[in-house]
C-alpha cells in the first residue's frame, strides 16, 4: 500500500488528473499544482472523499520563471516530504516557427523544460539524501524526432527524454528512479490549447486514463522510458533511425499537417 506523497504538476485535468487519481487510489497523499484554483479544489474534494488521503493545493503558473521556486517553498512551509515527483505540466503549439508568437514559444520552453528542471533539482536533493524516491516526467514520442510545424514543442520534449535518462543514471546508486513517459496522441485539452484540431495524428488518440496507467506502472517498475503504444515504440526505436533524415522530416511534417 502506497503511503508516499506525490507532487503532480498540470494536475487540473488530462493525464495529470488521472495520475493524481491513481496515486490517491493507492492511499498516497497528493500535492496538486496548476493554474486553476477552482478545478484543483474540486479535485481535492473528490480525492479526499473517495480515498481518504491528504490533498494539498498549490496554485501557480509554471510559465512564470519564479513559479517552481515558489512551489518548492510552499511544500517546505507545509513540512512535506515529496517522495514522488510527477512533472506533467506542458503545452504545445501548431504552426511554422517563423509565423508563431515568440512569446508563446518561450513560455512553452519555460513550462516544458525550465520549470521541470528546477522542480527536479529542488526535490531530487532530498530523495538522494533519503536514498529513495521516484520521478516521472511526462514527455512524448515527439521527443525522438524533429517536428516541423511544432518545432519548439518537439525540441522541448527531446530535452525532457534526454534529461530524464541522464539523471536516472546519475541517481541509480542512491535508489532513486526517473522515468520518461512518451505517449503518442492523447485525448486531452492539449489539442485545443495547442491549436491541433484537424491534425490526423489525433484521430485515434488514446485516453488520458490509459496513458496515466502506463506511466504510473512504468514509474513503479523504475523503467527509463515508457511508451503507451507498442507500434510507436518499434517505429521510433528500430525503423526511424535507419531512414534518411530528410525523409523523416517530411514524414514528421505530414503527420502534423492539418486536414484541408
Alpha helices by DSSP H, the chain: 14-25, 37-51, 67-77, 102-109, 116-130, 151-171, 190-193, 208-221, 230-234, 245-256
Q: What is this structure's pTM?
A: 0.89
Residue 192, pLDDT above cutoff 60? no
Higher pLDDT, 202 or 57: 57
Residue 195, pLDDT above cutoff 70? no
The per-residue pLDDT for range 1-11, each reduced to its tens digit, is 456 999 999 99
The fourth-level CATH superfamily of domain 5-256 is: NAD(P)-binding Rossmann-like Domain (3.40.50.720)
Give the domain ranges of the chain: 5-256
* 180 and 165 Cβ atoms separated by less than 8 Å: yes
Known catalytic residues are 153
- Cell (9 digits) for 33: 499544482
Amino acid at each position: 500500500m502506497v503511503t508516499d506523497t506525490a507532487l503532480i504538476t498540470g494536475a487540473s485535468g488530462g493525464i495529470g488528473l488521472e495520475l493524481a487519481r491513481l496515486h490517491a487510489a493507492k492511499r498516497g497523499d497528493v500535492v496538486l499544482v496548476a493554474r486553476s484554483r477552482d478545478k484543483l479544489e474540486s479535485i481535492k474534494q473528490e480525492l479526499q472523499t473517495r480515498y481518504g488521503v491528504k490533498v494539498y493545493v498549490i496554485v501557480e503558473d509554471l510559465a512564470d520563471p519564479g513559479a517552481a521556486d515558489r512551489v518548492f517553498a510552499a511544500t517546505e512551509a507545509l513540512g512535506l516530504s515529496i517522495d514522488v515527483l510527477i512533472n506533467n505540466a506542458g503545452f504545445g503549439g501548431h504552426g511554422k516557427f517563423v509565423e508563431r508568437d515568440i512569446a508563446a514559444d518561450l513560455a512553452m520552453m519555460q513550462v516544458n523544460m525550465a520549470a521541470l528542471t528546477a522542480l527536479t533539482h529542488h526535490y531530487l536533493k532530498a530523495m538522494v539524501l533519503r536514498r529513495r524516491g521516484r520521478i516521472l516526467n511526462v514527455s512524448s514520442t515527439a521527443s525522438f524526432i524533429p517536428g516541423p510545424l511544432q518545432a519548439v514543442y518537439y525540441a522541448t520534449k527531446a530535452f525532457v527524454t534526454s534529461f530524464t535518462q541522464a539523471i536516472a543514471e546519475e541517481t541509480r546508486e542512491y535508489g532513486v528512479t526517473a522515468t520518461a513517459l512518451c505517449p503518442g496522441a492523447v485525448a486531452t485539452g492539449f489539442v485545443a490549447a495547442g491549436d491541433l484540431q484537424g491534425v490526423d495524428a489525433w484521430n485515434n488518440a488514446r485516453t488520458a486514463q490509459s496513458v496515466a496507467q502506463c506511466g504510473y506502472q512504468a514509474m513503479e517498475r523504475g523503467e527509463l522510458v515508457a511508451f503507451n503504444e507498442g507500434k510507436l515504440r518499434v517505429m521510433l526505436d528500430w525503423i526511424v533511425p535507419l531512414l534518411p533524415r530528410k525523409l523523416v522530416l517530411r514524414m514528421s511534417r505530414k503527420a502534423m499537417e492539418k486536414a484541408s
